[in-house]
Amino acid sequence: SYKEWMQTTKAAWDSGLLETAVGAMKGAGIKAYVWVTVFDEGCPPEVLYSDSVPFPWQSHFTRENPQYLSCDRSLTENARRYHWGVLEYAYPEVRQYMLKVIRAFSDRFDFDGVFLSVRSHSPPPSHADQFGFNQPVVQEYKHRYGRDILRQSFDLEKWRDLRGEFFTTFLKEVKEHLKAR
């Protein structure tokens, strides 16, 4: 069960199992990398996975800050839909949060590097460009191209590139942290 998994995970963490495992790997000449999934923050229990099973967890960060999840083009808060588990990297707060997650491992353990996984267990969108209309993206697109992507037609490739720039900023921030380490 989920509760048993959580208890086992906490006991392993509290006992220093990860530090022991990393030390043993390094001692055997095996490189050790921390694995961090950057688009997988979980869902509330009422969101069914595969339309039948409640998702077993949701990060504290997205429970406390749902506004940082990638959102659709809805103009009103009541109608807005979020892409559960998928953060919008246009927010500095999201990038800081994920860097804090990485640092929890990279600063404490002698890892050789960080593997940033982009796979996700999050429920998929109805179509590829359904989400990604958070305020920082809307504002920056309007600043650059003079179009309100919530109310007007817009260049889809420029919007995709812009969202990619925000994620690239995150990757640069991770690289800077790791180089300094």
Summarize pLDDT for 13-45 with one digit per residue, the tens: 899 999 999 999 999 999 999 999 999 999 888
pLDDT tens digits, 76-135: 888 999 999 999 999 999 999 999 999 999 999 989 999 999 998 888 898 989 999 999
Q: How far apart are CA 94 and CA 163, in angstroms?
A: 13
Q: What are the start-end ranges of the E strands in the chain?
A: 33-37, 48-49, 53-54, 69-71, 82-87, 113-117
Residues 90-118 as b or e (16 or more Cβ within 10 Å = b): bbeebbebbbebbeebbeeeebeebebee
Contact predicate 36/114, CB 8 Å: yes
What's the confidence (pLDDT) of residue 5? 76
Please give the single-letter amino acid code of residue 171.
L
Close Cβ partners of 172 (under 8 Å, ≥ 6 residues apart): none
Contact predicate 36/102, CB 8 Å: yes
At residue 149, does pLDDT exceed 70?
Answer: yes
At residue 73, does pLDDT exceed 90?
Answer: yes
First-residue to last-residue Cα distance in the chain:
38
What's the confidence (pLDDT) of residue 52? 78
At residue 55, does pLDDT exceed 80?
Answer: no
What's the confidence (pLDDT) of residue 27? 95
Identify which has the larger pLDDT, 89 or 58: 89
Q: How far apart are CA 172 and CA 179, in angstroms?
A: 10
The pLDDT of 152-171, averaged and rounded, is: 98
